[in-house]
Amino acid sequence: MLGAEARLAWLLVSPALFVIALIAFYPVFRAFLISLQRVQLQFIKFGQPFVGLGNYAQVLTDDRFWNALGNTGLFTFVTVLFEFLLGLLLAVLMNIPLKGRGVLRASVLIPWALTTVVSAIMWQFMYNDQYGIVNALLLRFHLIAEPIIWLGKPSLALISAMIADIWKTTPFMALLLLAGLQVIPADIYEAARIDGTTPLQAFFRITLPLLKPAILVALLFRALDAFRVFDLIFVLTGGGPGNSTETLSLLTYIKLFREFDFGVGSALAVITFICVVLISYVFIKVLGARAGEV
């Protein structure tokens, strides 16, 4: 029997939980069911026969899937690594009491707030091999001898997309880390300084260990975000050239809405979901990210 307070509490949380259950959890379950059927949207009136794990077999034997998984994994690893290193540097910089710190803190919010699609269009324009500013600057400072075809070469296109992502999301990482830096009490540094610790030693022995919880949470959320990258790739390269920048989300979208194959598309969706669960598991159970307290 629930007390009056508990009854009220459940009453208050139930609308939010209902929406989450209906629009997030139930669809995952449905996606799993669809992934066990042959569902071709144009021929849906001819039925949706049960095919067991057939769609999964089709996905797992398709090189295009492994290519997309590889691209997504590489994209996630490289962008999160650089966002972390640059973000940490930026956070430390923003934490130094200097004039103009306020301007810096305000301006790093701009890439964060920018619509991803707009940012992707902007980078596409800046990367253009005929009239883009990126080549113009590199040529101007004699860093390259001839224009680079950033988005037209399979070897460069994914790197170009990574740079665009790092530009946009490093500030967010920096703000999360800055918040972590600000709660480290100043007396610790003071005590360390008196004990003769150099600033560099202090950074590795005090700052980093104390910042670890904030770092893990920031890395977890960035990794999950990078893993589902869609908007940026969709607009910047459309997955090309060839399939060199195709990610899991993009491949899933193509199967669903270009080939209208909801069975295979849903199998891909479920696989993406499982990957995300695995990433979260590694961060929370293995590395000990305490995301529950966010």
Partner 1 sequence: MKLSARGLLYLLIGFVLILMLFPFYWILVTSLKTSGEIFSFPPTLFPKGLNWANYLSVFTRQPFHIYLKNSFIVASLTTLFCLLLGSLAAYALARLRFKGKGLILSIVLAVSMFPPIAIVSPLFLMLKHFHLLNTYPALIFPYTTFAMPLTIWILTSFFKQLPAELEEAARVDGCSPMVTFSKILLPLAAPGVFTCAILVFISSWNEFLFALTFTTSNLMRTVPVGITMYPGEYEMPWGTIFAAAALVTIPLIALVLLFQRRIVSGLTAGAVKG
Number of residues near partner 1 (by CB under 8 A)? 99
Please tell me whether residue 226 binds partner 1 under the rule CB under 8 A.
Answer: no
Interface residues for partner 1 in 102-141 (CB under 8 A)? 103-119, 121-123, 125-126, 130-133, 136, 139-140
Residue 218: CB atoms within 10 Å: 26
Q: Which residues have CB under 8 Å from 163's CB, separation 6+?
A: 123
Interface residues for partner 1 in 163-192 (CB under 8 A)? 167, 171-172, 175-176, 178-180, 182-183
Please tell me whether residue 19 binds partner 1 under the rule CB under 8 A.
Answer: yes
In the complex, least distance from residue 172 CB atom to partner 1, rounded to whole angstroms: 7
Cβ proximity to partner 1: between 26 and 50 the closer is 26
Neighbouring-strand partners of residue 281: none
89: amino acid identity, one letter: L
Q: Within 96-197, where are the H helices?
A: 101-107, 109-113, 116-127, 133-140, 154-182, 186-194
Q: Please name which of 230, 220, 229 lies closest in space to residue 279, comparing C-alpha atoms.
A: 220
Cβ proximity to partner 1: between 69 and 269 the closer is 269
Please tell me whether residue 291 binds partner 1 under the rule CB under 8 A.
Answer: yes
Please tell me whether residue 196 binds partner 1 under the rule CB under 8 A.
Answer: no
Please tell me whether residue 224 binds partner 1 under the rule CB under 8 A.
Answer: yes
In the complex, least distance from residue 39 CB atom to partner 1, rounded to whole angstroms: 8
Judge contact between 157 and 240, C-beta under 8 A: yes
Q: Please name which of 258, 261, 232, 257 lies closest in space to residue 247, comparing C-alpha atoms.
A: 232
Please tell me whether residue 213 binds partner 1 under the rule CB under 8 A.
Answer: yes
Phi, psi for residue 143 in degrees, rounded to 5:
-85, -20
Please tell me whether residue 237 binds partner 1 under the rule CB under 8 A.
Answer: no
Binding residue for partner 1, selected from 40, 197, 206, 228, defined by CB under 8 A: 228
Q: Please name which of 201, 246, 220, 211 lies closest in space to residue 74, comparing C-alpha atoms.
A: 246
Cβ proximity to partner 1: between 155 and 186 the closer is 186
Cβ proximity to partner 1: between 54 and 155 the closer is 54
In the complex, least distance from residue 233 CB atom to partner 1, rounded to whole angstroms: 11
**Cα distances (Å, whole numbers) of residue 51 to 34, 45, 187, 253, 264:** 10, 17, 65, 21, 11
Judge contact between 233 and 252, C-beta under 8 A: no
Interface pattern 67-106 for partner 1 (x via CB under 8 A) = -----------------------x--x--x-x-x--xxxx
Please tell me whether residue 43 binds partner 1 under the rule CB under 8 A.
Answer: no
